[in-house]
Amino acid sequence: MLESPHIPVLPNEVISLLQLAQNPKPMWFLDGTAGEGGHSKLILKTFPEAKLILIDRDAVMLERAKKEIQKEFGSLDRVHSFQMNFSEVDSTLLEEVGCFGLDGALVDLGVSLFHFLHSGRGFTFKNEEPLDMRLEPQVGQKTAADVVNYSSVLHLKKVFWEYGEERWALKIANNIVQSRHKKKFETNTDLVKLVEASIPRKFWPKESHPATRIFQALRIEVNEELIHAEKGIRTLANCLQLGGVLTCISFHSLEDRIVKWTFRDLKATNEFEILTKKPILPTDQEIKENRASRSAKLRGLRKIEPIKESRWEK
């Protein structure tokens, strides 16, 4: 079966923000979530003399991105790739490749369509797959099945409520604990059936599957996504050179809240300015052409000369 071509989310808007970098000849960019390589290709095309540091925590995705870039540009001469979480990037790693400050950085906090359609790790409801959900399966941290099979009722409720904003969190957590006494959860469909049975049909959402919030919550818990998001935003902001721009795309309210609050914290240091008073949203036309963009929000931040307080303001 042929895969449909990957379409990057908010492509023009991301590039417009990155072009606000104040170095007259921007040389170094970082894509902290390589995914399918869509945004990376746009950056390399827009800044033909610049180099790109390519990061992804999933080895499979990193290889896919590199393949896409090579197909487009004929080589990877301008690309330095690392398999790691973008929250682990630091000045030492950048200096290894000769970068002493980023002109621009992008993190796309969404999970690639590839993970849902082709990874076989239980992110989807469509095919029966092991209940895994790890973005770095080779690292060996807990799987979604481990969380479901061995967490207490209270922990499960907390995960479902805080990371999924699921109103039926307690009932689903109770039913999981009762059910796993008889048989442990092994596949995504085991969990889907339980969630469907736990929520009365009249309360099922019209636009999405009733297990969507539970799956989102488990994915965030397994991969510690929100912890890495905040840490990574702070880290990358501090890797910018003066005038450098950091852009972040989020896909649900929890992520967007973290981006918004972290940007505000950084602005309070007087070393950054926020470039987006409100998040930039996809146009109706983009949503029509790329349904995956419908919940995307983009925010931007720029590093500036520290604003010195006068002694009268103290």
> Which residues define the annotated binding site for S-adenosyl-L-methionine?
37-39, 56, 86, 108, 115
CA-to-CA separations, 188 to 135, 144, 168, 206, 308, in angstroms, rounded: 16, 9, 19, 21, 54
CA-to-CA separations, 151 to 141, 188, 190, 195, 311, in angstroms, rounded: 15, 17, 17, 17, 54
Select from 214, 162, 207 the least CA-distant residue to 185.
214
Buried b / exposed e over 19-43, threshold 16 CB at 10 Å, is eebebeebbbbbbbbbbbbbbbbbb
Specify binding-site residues: 37-39, 56, 86, 108, 115
CA-to-CA separations, 110 to 150, 152, 190, 232, in angstroms, rounded: 27, 28, 25, 14
Select from 108, 106, 109, 129 the least CA-distant residue to 117.
129
- Contact present, 294 and 7 (Cβ < 8 Å): no
153-164 and 212-223 helices, crossing angle to 10°: 100
